[in-house]
Each structure stands twice: as structure tokens, then as C-alpha cells.
Amino acid sequence: MFNSIKESPIYPIVNPQSIAFFGASNNFASMGSNLLSSVRSLGFEGAIYPVHPKEKQVQGYKAYQNVLDLPETPDLAIIVLHTDIVCRAVEECGQKGIKHAIIISAGFKEVGGRGANQEKELLDVAEKYGLRILGPNCLGVINPHHKLNTTWMPYEAPAGFIGMASQSGSFINQTLGRISKLGLGFSTAFSVGNELNTDIVDCMEYLGACPHTKVIALYIEGINRGRAFLEAARAIVPHKPIVALYVGGSEAGRRAGLSHTGAMAGPDNLYDGIFRQSGVIRARSITELFDFCWALGTLPECKGRRVMIQTHSGGPGATAADACGRAGLEVPALSPQTLEKLSELLPHTASANNPVDVTFSRNPLFYYSEIPKALLENKDADILLMYCYTPTESVIRSLESLGASREEAAKQAVIRIDAQSQAIAGLLERRDKPIIGFTYSSSDDRFIQGLVERGVPVFSGPEQAARVMEALVGYSSRRHGIMAGASEN
Amino acid sequence: MFNSIKESPIYPIVNPQSIAFFGASNNFASMGSNLLSSVRSLGFEGAIYPVHPKEKQVQGYKAYQNVLDLPETPDLAIIVLHTDIVCRAVEECGQKGIKHAIIISAGFKEVGGRGANQEKELLDVAEKYGLRILGPNCLGVINPHHKLNTTWMPYEAPAGFIGMASQSGSFINQTLGRISKLGLGFSTAFSVGNELNTDIVDCMEYLGACPHTKVIALYIEGINRGRAFLEAARAIVPHKPIVALYVGGSEAGRRAGLSHTGAMAGPDNLYDGIFRQSGVIRARSITELFDFCWALGTLPECKGRRVMIQTHSGGPGATAADACGRAGLEVPALSPQTLEKLSELLPHTASANNPVDVTFSRNPLFYYSEIPKALLENKDADILLMYCYTPTESVIRSLESLGASREEAAKQAVIRIDAQSQAIAGLLERRDKPIIGFTYSSSDDRFIQGLVERGVPVFSGPEQAARVMEALVGYSSRRHGIMAGASEN
């Protein structure tokens, strides 16, 4: 492990000052040209040197017939050539003194036979010149903080706090539309492809040291260096959570992974054991992977499994209690002190059990301030799970019924709804205990959007929220377990 | 069981021609006034008679001091009064000869003590006059086909095919924003509350006979008439699927349900057994409940568990295969005939296993027409699971790179994307085998919206889709099981 990110052997792959680009031309339909477009459109500020046998200029840059002709030795080569000519290009990069490359081209180990042989040749060349290669058969890197994107899709999300290393390129760009709606984005994302000599462990170590990365997401079809993974993860987990999705555990998943990146999968329980020992939290789907990252990267530590549930409708309270119960979380009774506080805040129709079913609040804002505050202060509370439902149209109607014009009611409704989400976000800013929302509304709803924009994670149902709470509790306990183990040694 | 819906003893509750309304006034902030607003805003076309001790007119209707003064005997009474005066109002309804009522008011059995006694009195009065009551402590009924909505929320969804009976009112209206985004709506929805003398079984029987209902959704905290439930369900399942969410199985869920509607829950495995014997498909969350209804109400029968998976990216193929494997679905190898057909359609980089990873199609439209057609014709195919990802911005960019102006490219992109969703919907219209989509995109994406609008269910990830496929297969097998059992008797 290294302490400063600049010591990472792959630092120049993620933060190049200059790039030699193989495979881009003025034919905009080609994949290489597309990739160069992506690099340009995110606003990469370093030097770009297209290498092309015929063109004099490529997309406005001066082109070079051979990499050996470049005026400097660039930090990185990006290669998007036909499989058969990749190896020669890498050889020439080595001759030029280039030490880092991303090979996007596919057709290697993952297709077997001739492709597998070509991958062996590639490894020989890389060793000969001491070249560090990401790929082949990958999409490369997204580092929005450095304005670098080597995938063929535009990076349309904020620069964020999720560091991702993925054995599928799809998951670092075909998920962007969804996560950006949650205000999430990548700090840095890697598509590792066939892992010639840079694997998911290297990327995880980089992300562990990356100051923009608050939480690490891994998509795994198979880990080749189990011991290195375990050691690296245990070094990271005390200060940064790691979440992993592993799909090789079922027979069908194993076969699909094999033909995808040639990864060798192992039995599910083997990986379960590795993750547990490593302190890594396991997700069961891509949705969960990002859900967990959202909560782990946003919320304060969840020190135990005792959940306070707040609702204003019985059904959502019952589904929430049931989801917590099934997930092994506790829904403890409220303390006499809390009950006393609540008695001043709740109407007589309310149920002051846990779940606290507020029904109609005496003062609607209590739901978003005094009541959750009282629940968070309950001595047996580790986390608050809150049902979120304030439909804009209902607020408008109730204001109209009090005499406001439609226009005035609509204006006031927005102000009130935003005040509600602000109040909850304010409670969360105290950073002592986590708050999680769940809803059955559409994610387009103004109240839900307001919460999400203000950093309160809201999930589509309590089952999803319960899984997230399990992850929060799991991270806290694994983290402390590793730290205790380390201090014993 | 009855054959025509008009024989249902609760038909007038769902389809009244005239309503006596207790509890609405000209104070628009009161709950009763709010409810009357809802009834009016959906455009109810029958007569409405507000009953109010003082007002001469309520919301534009002539008001009556006592129900006995009404010029006719209405089909239905809707009661939103303080708990203490409900019983007297019901007594007067009985004297007037009214045979059906919805009691919205709460504060009865669910609060225990005095409330429980008041509920007993209510039952006595109902028996004395032969009154059929929905509630108390409920939201009543939504029947958009009859323009009737007695809940306090506006019904902002299409008139649809999902018939719902729920032991929580929340789930028939706090879910509307979400399901309407999928083009879904209720045929009729019941909030049954404390089930005085109309329970979830009565509602299920009604929905079984309802011609607008293609699939029945149940939210259950506890069933009191187990035998009746089983018999009614077994009579319905051969011609209409039933999906149920039961939350009383965990200790926390049981307690929450008890304080909510006073329902007595039973152990989880007891309900599992009841559902299995009844042919009812069990959902594990509200999200699943509607997911299952969406697919069961839209797709042709799924006769087996053999899934064809089509993707153009390796990662989604691997997660899909893994999700199917874990769900106990089969992902069989392709037949030589199918492989031969595909060889003409796929590029050499493609993987013609199952999952079929198309990578780049020779002709992009093949992905949405010839390739899925070939997979559906594979002899070992029961269902097609298709990865859906066509980001509008990428299509625009690729058209721009071919020389189109931004404006022209944007216009053409929309046409092409809509042609893709139309092509898939066209395959589904043949009604021989079901097609299900999954995506990691945002639901706002034009391609995803296009599919949804055209009746192709698309889910947020393959795990959700796999659960839906299990439900489709499960319904088919339970249905045939019940029919075979019936024919043996």
C-alpha cells in the first residue's frame, strides 16, 4: 500500500498530462473517433497526440504517423485498434518510453484460441518495456475531477464520491442516467477488462488512496489475486467502505462471465467468505451496489441495528416494520422519556409505538422536525427510518381550500414542501445518527427530489431501505472488527 | 361465488347511483369536505345528498338535516363523522332503508377499549338493518370506470386493469404517482379497514367477477376467513391471477399490523401454505406487488422457466444470467437451428451463447426484430429477457457524426428510438411468448418510456425481472394445477 495517491503505479493512467491516441481518425463513425470525442467533450486539458498512418490532422489535432515521431513521451497511450495490430503499437509505445496504456480493443483472451495467444504476446511486450496496461477489452477510465473520460459514452453526471472498479464497462457508463438523478457521480471509475497486468485490486488500492473517493464500488466476475484483495481491502476498510457485487456464484452467471472477460469464477460461499474477512459489504444487484454507496458515502456511522420507524400511514408503517424484522434489524419499544416528549406532539389518533404512526400532526412541520428529533434522541435509537409522502397536489388543494388562489397555493406549496425537506436535511447535518427515507411515490415528486438534492437518501420501499440499513450496520461492525484485530497484532 | 358482478352483495358500494354523504360541510379543511371534493373531482355522475345538522347547502348540493329527510333511498351512505356519532348515523341509515355504507371514520377496534365496544355496537346495528358496511377506519373505494373515488387523494391515474383490495388505505392512493408512470391504474380498489362485515375475501370475489379487472392485488395484514379465502381464490385463479403481499409474518410486522387495523396475523409459513394452496402468487414488497400485476396483466402466459437472454453488453448479460440462475430459472443453450439463424445476424465479436451478447449489430434494428424473433422461436424458449439501453444522446451524436445537424439528428434520433420500441411491442403483440425488459437507465429515458407506453414491462435490473418471471411461471403452473385438480373432482 502507498500513502499518497501519486505513488500509485497506475496514477498516470488516471491523471495523464499527455496522451498518445491510437485508432481515432476523421471517420466519425469509428469507435476510436468516438472515444476521442468523449475525451474532448469532457474537456481534457492535457496534450493529445493522435497516431494515424495516413491522416495529417485528426479532429483538429496534429496527427503523427508513428508514436516514435511524437515531440515528447506522453504519460499514457490509449489504443483502439484492430486486435491484430495492437501488439505492434504497444511495442512502439515501449520503444518510445511510454510506461502506461489503456487498451480498449477486444478480441483477446475472452474469445479464446488466437485471441488468447495474442494476449500472451501482449503481456510479453508489456513486461519487456515495463508497461502498465489497463485492459484489453475494457472501456478505460472516467476521472471527472481530471476531466478525463475514455469510454464511448459522454460522462453526464456530477463529479462525485463513488470510486468504482468494474469487470464490466457497462456499469461505469450505462448506469449514469440513473445515478445522476440521485445527485451521484464517480470520483474515478475503472473498467478493467481482461486485467492483463492491472487488476481490480490495483484499482481498489488506487481508490483507497483517492481523496475524492468516499466509498468504493466493485463489480466482480472473478478475483485472481485473492490474498492481495483481502490485504488491500482490510487496509482500506477502516477508513473507507467497500461494496462489491459478485455474479459468478451461480452456474449461469459463471458461464456468462467466462465468455465476457474470461474471468474464472468461484463458488458463491468462497466469495462470501473473502468479502466477510475483507470487511467488504456484499450487494446483490447493481441497484443495491449504488444504493449502498449512496448511503455509506452520505450518512454518519450507524452504530447498531435499532431502528426507529416514523410514518403517518399505517400500511407503510407495517411494511417497514416487517421489512426491518425480516432483515434482522430491531424495532425496539420507545423509552418513557421519548413517549413523554411525543405525547405533546401527537394527536390522540396517533400510535406512539414503534413504528410511530403520527396520523395527522398537530402542526405539520412537527413531522419533519420535533418528532424525528425526539426519536433520534431515544436512547435505544441507532437510526431513523422515515416514511416520506407529501404530494404537491394535495398541499396545493389544502391551501386552496383555506382560500388561496390556485396560483398562490401552488407557490406556497413549493415553499412549504421545500421547508419540509430542508428540515430533515438539517437534522442529518448534525451528523450524529443516520436518517433514511422510503417512499411509494414517484421519484419525480418534488418532496422526494428535495430530500435527495439535500443529501437525504430515499428508497423505493422499506425492503430496499432495510437492505441499506443492514449494509450500514455491517460496515460499522466490520470496520471495528478489523481495527480491533489490527490493534491486537 | 356469483357469475355476474351485479350479483355481488357489495356491487352498490362500488357502483352506487346515489350517495348520502355524512361529514362534509363548507369548512374545506375538514376531512369529510375533502372527501366530498374527491368524489366530485373524479366526476361522479349520480346524485349526492349531503347530510348536515346545520348547513342548507354543502359544496353546491342541497343539504339535509337528517338522512330520513332524503327524497329517495340512496344506494350508499358515506360516513366521515366523529367516532362517537357514527353509530347513530348508521342507525338512521338503516331506518331509511339504506343497505350499503362506507365508514371512513377511525377510532374503533384498532384503538381497543371504548373503540372496540363502539365497533361491536356498529355490528349490531348493521345486523339489525341488514346493512353491508365497508370499513370503518378505511378510505373506501376507487372505481375510475364509474368515476367514483371516496379517498381523500385525487385519483390521478388512468382507469386500469389492476383490481386491488387492501388492508391499508395508503396503498390504494399513495402509490398512484408511481404506478401511473408505468401506464397502470386501478380497475377498482378497496381499502377494507377494520372489515366489520365486508372483508378482503368479499372484495376479492367482487374483483374476480369484475370485467375491467385482469389481475387482483391484495395487501394483507391478516385473513380472518381462511377457508373462504382459499375457496374464493381457487375459483378465481383459473381465469385471473391473484398476487398478495402479506406483512404479518415477522414479529415487528405483526405488532404494527395489530395497532393499525387490529388484524390478527399468523406465522409466515401458514400464509405461505394458504397462498400456495389457493394458487395465489406471493409478493415480498409493494414494488413487487405492482411489478407482478403489471406483467401478469400485460403478458401472454409463460409456460415454463427457460429464459432466453439478449444483451449487447457483457456485464448486463452476466448479471441477468446470474439473477436467473439464483431465481431457479433456466438459461438453456441455443439449438443448432437458432445458432444458424443468428450467425447471419451477429458480428464476429458477438457471443452466440445464452446470454446472446450481440455487441454491435450488423444492422441496429436487428436487435429489436430479427434477433429476438429468432430467440423466441428457439424450441427451448419460454420467455425472452432483453437488456434495454438506447440513450438518446448517443443516437443523436452518432447521427451528427454522420453529418446531420444537431436539430436534424435530434429529430431522427427520436424516430429511430421509437421505431425500436415499436418493433419490440410488435413482437409481443403476437401473444405467443412473453418478453420482459430490464435496464440500468433512468426510467425517464425515451427508449424505456417508449417501451412502457407500448405495453412492454421493463424493470430496474435483472433481479427484479427474474422475480417477475418466477411469478409468471408460478401463476401458469398453479393455474394448471387447480384446473387439473378441479377436473379430477
Of B171, B168, B201, B205, nearest to B186 by C-alpha is B171
Q: Looking at the partner chain, which of B174, B320, B326 has a beta carbon nearest the beta carbon of A441?
A: B174
Q: B319, A175: Cβ pair inside 8 Å?
A: no
Q: Are strands A61-62 and A18-22 parallel, antiparallel or unpaired?
A: unpaired
Residues of A in contact with B462 (CB under 8 A): 285
B189 within 8 A of B210, measured Cβ to Cβ: no
DSSP H or E segment with residue B471: helix B462-488
What was the pLDDT predicted at A257? 60
DSSP helix/strand/coil, B224: coil
> pLDDT band for position A488 (50/70/90)?
low
Residues of B in contact with A28 (CB under 8 A): 401-402
Q: Looking at the partner chain, which of B156, B256, B325 has a beta carbon nearest the beta carbon of A355?
A: B256
What was the pLDDT predicted at B484? 92
Residue B3: Cβ within 10 Å count = 7
B159 within 8 A of B182, measured Cβ to Cβ: no
d(CA B394, nearest CA chain A) in Å: 7
What was the pLDDT predicted at B409? 94
> pLDDT band for position A215 (50/70/90)?
very high
Q: B177, A248: Cβ pair inside 8 Å?
A: no
Helix axes A406-429, A446-453, angle to 10 degrees: 30
Measured CA to CA, the distance from residue B103 to residue B193 in angstroms comes to 9
Q: A177, B445: Cβ pair inside 8 Å?
A: yes
Q: A314, B256: Cβ pair inside 8 Å?
A: yes
What was the pLDDT predicted at B266? 77
CA dihedral B37, B41, B42, B44 (to 10 degrees): 70
B98 within 8 A of B155, measured Cβ to Cβ: no
d(CA B482, nearest CA chain A) in Å: 30
Mean pLDDT across the stretch A391-405?
86
* Chain A interface disruption, residue of B30, B42, B247, most A CBs within 10 A: B247
What was the pLDDT predicted at B164? 98
Residues of A in contact with B171 (CB under 8 A): 315, 440
Measured CA to CA, the distance from residue A383 to residue B146 in angstroms comes to 45
B428 within 8 A of B435, measured Cβ to Cβ: yes
Report pLDDT digits (tens) over A107-150. 999 888 999 999 999 999 999 999 999 999 999 999 999 999 99
Q: A260, B440: Cβ pair inside 8 Å?
A: no
Residue A195 φ/ψ region, left for φ over 0, alpha for ψ in the -120 to 50 degree band, beta for the rest: left
Q: Is the pLDDT of residue A477 over 70?
A: yes
A385 within 8 A of A308, measured Cβ to Cβ: yes
What was the pLDDT predicted at A402? 80
* Chain B interface disruption, residue of A322, A349, A448, most B CBs within 10 A: A322
DSSP state at residue B217: E
Report pLDDT digits (tens) over B57-74. 999 999 999 999 999 999
Q: Which three cell numbers stand for residue B170?
A: 395508503
What was the pLDDT predicted at A373? 94
Q: A349, B106: Cβ pair inside 8 Å?
A: yes
DSSP state at residue B106: -
Report pLDDT digits (tens) over B32-66. 988 998 899 899 999 999 999 999 999 999 999 99
Q: Which three cell numbers stand for residue B271?
A: 400464509
Compare all CA atoms of chain B with the CA of A221 and give the residue at the minimum distance: B318
Q: A313, B156: Cβ pair inside 8 Å?
A: no
Q: Which three cell numbers stand for residue A357?
A: 404512526
Q: Are strands A76-79 and A18-22 parallel, antiparallel or unpaired?
A: parallel
DSSP helix/strand/coil, B77: strand
Q: Could you tell me which residues are beta bridge partners of residue A282? A: A244
What was the pLDDT predicted at B399? 87
Compare all CA atoms of chain B with the CA of A28 and give the residue at the minimum distance: B401
Report pLDDT digits (tens) over A80-90. 999 999 999 99
Q: Looking at the partner chain, which of A153, A247, A287 has a beta carbon nearest the beta carbon of B318?
A: A247
Per-residue b or e along B387-414, where b marks 16 or more CB atoms closer than 10 Å to that residue's CB: bbbbbbebbbbbbbbeebeeeebbebbe
Residue B333: Cβ within 10 Å count = 12
Residues of B in contact with A257 (CB under 8 A): 318
Report pLDDT digits (tens) over B367-422. 899 999 999 999 999 999 999 999 898 888 888 878 899 999 999 999 999 999 99
* Chain B interface disruption, residue of A313, A440, A463, A468, most B CBs within 10 A: A440
Tell me how many degrees the CA angle A115-A118-A123 measures, rounded to the nearest 5.
130
Q: Is the pLDDT of residue A262 over 60?
A: no
What was the pLDDT predicted at A26? 86
Q: Is the pLDDT of residue A263 over 60?
A: no
Q: Which three cell numbers stand for residue A2?
A: 502507498
The single residue listed with the C-alpha cell 400511514 is A313
Measured CA to CA, the distance from residue A436 to residue A469 in angstroms comes to 8
A368 within 8 A of A387, measured Cβ to Cβ: no
Q: Could you tell me which residues are beta bridge partners of residue B244? A: B218, B282
> pLDDT band for position A334 (50/70/90)?
very high
CA dihedral A452, A456, A460, A463 (to 10 degrees): 170
DSSP helix/strand/coil, B382: coil
Residues of B in contact with A191 (CB under 8 A): none
Q: B284, A153: Cβ pair inside 8 Å?
A: no
* Chain A interface disruption, residue of B260, B282, B290, B359, most A CBs within 10 A: B260
Regions in chain B scoring below 70 on pLDDT: 1, 249-265, 349, 360-363, 487-489
d(CA B96, nearest CA chain A) in Å: 31
Q: Looking at the partner chain, which of B177, B256, B401 has a beta carbon nearest the beta carbon of A321?
A: B256
Residues of A in contact with B397 (CB under 8 A): 34, 37, 154
Q: B178, A440: Cβ pair inside 8 Å?
A: yes
What was the pLDDT predicted at A61? 96
Q: Which three cell numbers stand for residue B258?
A: 395489530
Q: Looking at the partner chain, which of B106, B349, B398 has a beta carbon nearest the beta carbon of A106?
A: B349
Compare all CA atoms of chain B with the CA of A442 and give the residue at the minimum distance: B178
Sign of CA dihedral A141, A147, A152, A156: positive
Measured CA to CA, the distance from residue B253 to residue A315 in angstroms comes to 10
Compare all CA atoms of chain A with the CA of B355 and give the residue at the minimum distance: A256
What was the pLDDT predicted at A93? 98
Compare all CA atoms of chain B with the CA of A394 and give the residue at the minimum distance: B153
Q: Looking at the partner chain, which of B28, B315, B461 has a beta carbon nearest the beta carbon of A168?
A: B315
Residues of B in contact with A286 (CB under 8 A): 319, 440, 461
Mean pLDDT across the stretch A289-306?
97
What was the pLDDT predicted at A170? 92
Of B47, B127, B49, B32, nearest to B87 by C-alpha is B127
> pLDDT band for position A360 (50/70/90)?
low
